[in-house]
Structure 1
Amino acid sequence: MVRSSRSNDWGFPRWRGYEAERQATRVRLCDRHGCEAPGDRPAPKSPNNPDRWYFCETHAAEYNRNWNYFEGLDEEEAKRREASEQRTADGYANASHYAWGGSGDGTRSRDEMRALEVLGLEVDADFEAVRSAWRRLAKSSHPDVRPGDKEAAVRFQAIQAAYEVLRVAEERRQWKPA
């Protein structure tokens, strides 16, 4: 009598994925002490070292918050490298539509972060705070209020541009398909 090596779950519906084992899948936990989330985001333990920490998304963002990719480079070299990486990062630029290609936690782009900085707001400011800061700053540096003041005119233009960037981003978020 010939023994069959087939399992009993080969038909439809297939109860386990292709290439799957019968044992329970091992999930690596986040390396942050006390965290029970899956650690699926690798982060280097030190520069030029193949060893990696494995964090959850929250702790990976915390770990990378103050990391400066261009540290140790002069300004010209940093700008050149940033330009070359922007040119080849088309996949991430396209993915910003899905709200994960931006900086930080993915909810704001680099331009939005700069605009918030111009308005003097925190990164988690809502649009009502943006609108009130824009009105307050625009009133204080409007060319009609300060005629002949060139610095106020430049500051007013920067405030207007920052508000426009944040307004367009807010509209895009509101009309984003679910």
Structure 2
Amino acid sequence: MTRVRRSNDWGFPRWRGYEGAREAAQVRLCDRHGCTEPGSCPAPKSPNSPERWYFCQKHAAEYNAGWDYFAGLSAEEAAERETTERAEAGGYKESAHYGWAGSGDGSRSRDEMRALEVLGLDPDADFETVKKAWRNKAKEVHPDVRPGDADAAKAFQTFQVAYEVLRAAEERREWRG
């Protein structure tokens, strides 16, 4: 007597294994000679052509660095195309008003961003960089170095306040853990 083998498939699709019967997905490699990364970034082979190269992110960035959008157009045609596209994309520029304020990763307050700007630092500067910048700027305009200079005294106070804002924020971050 032959033994019948039971299965867990009762005819309802959700009891089947997901993608168990599907073949391996095709991955297109980067079109750059010698690159073995997946080519997931399409790039046009020429202006106004439907044909595309498919590059990895590294080679797409390299390709786009040399891309001239206005190649082959006269100065008048390029200016006309630019004004047309600016008019069509004007809503995007207006919507920037509603976006997140300023650069950085969102972990700094507006006051901290202003303080970093006063010290001439990037939004992602660490506290050691802040200390160094504050010391250098404060040495230049310190009242002992420039006695009687009202502008220097005001600049020193500005740098001092900026440093205090950033120091307090750093202490809060350390306290939170």
In our comparison, the structure showing a higher alpha carbon Rg is 2
TM-score (ref. length: structure 2):
0.44
TM-score (ref. length: structure 1):
0.44
